[in-house]
């Protein structure tokens, strides 16, 4: 699944590599912005996938979970990125939680 994100990044990097000169800085900025978006989506996906895998391990160890753990699909993360946190977002949420204690 994460190959979608990597493939999208390769396409964007190829476009940047084909970019001749810096006459059109706006186009270069757009390509870099799109690459950054793809990296964030990939981070969200990989963290959500790891969470699901860890939950599945815990579920199999305790056999107490009543619903199966489902790893997200790439298109689910792409279409709803705010439902899947980045590492930075998790750290910020943790800091806020600790600050309230």
Q: How confident is the model at residue 80 (pLDDT cuts 50, 70, 90)?
A: very high
| Boundaries of every domain in the chain | 3-100
pLDDT of residue 21: 62
Task: Name which residue leads in pLDDT, 49 or 27.
Answer: 49
DSSP state string for 14-70: HHHHH--SSTTHHHHHHHHHHHHHHHHHHHHHHHHHHHHHHHHHHHHHH---SS---
pLDDT of residue 73: 87
């Amino acid at each position: 699944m994460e190959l979608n994100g990597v493939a999208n990044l390769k396409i964007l990097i190829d476009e940047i590599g084909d970019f001749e000169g810096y006459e059109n800085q706006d186009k270069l900025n757009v390509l870099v912005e799109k690459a950054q978006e793809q990296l964030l989506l990939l981070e969200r996906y990989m963290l959500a996938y790891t969470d699901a895998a860890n939950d599945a391990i815990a579920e199999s160890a305790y056999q107490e979970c009543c619903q199966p753990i489902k790893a997200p699909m790439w298109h689910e993360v792409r279409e709803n990125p705010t439902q899947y946190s980045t590492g930075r977002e998790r750290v910020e949420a943790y800091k806020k939680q600790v600050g309230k204690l």
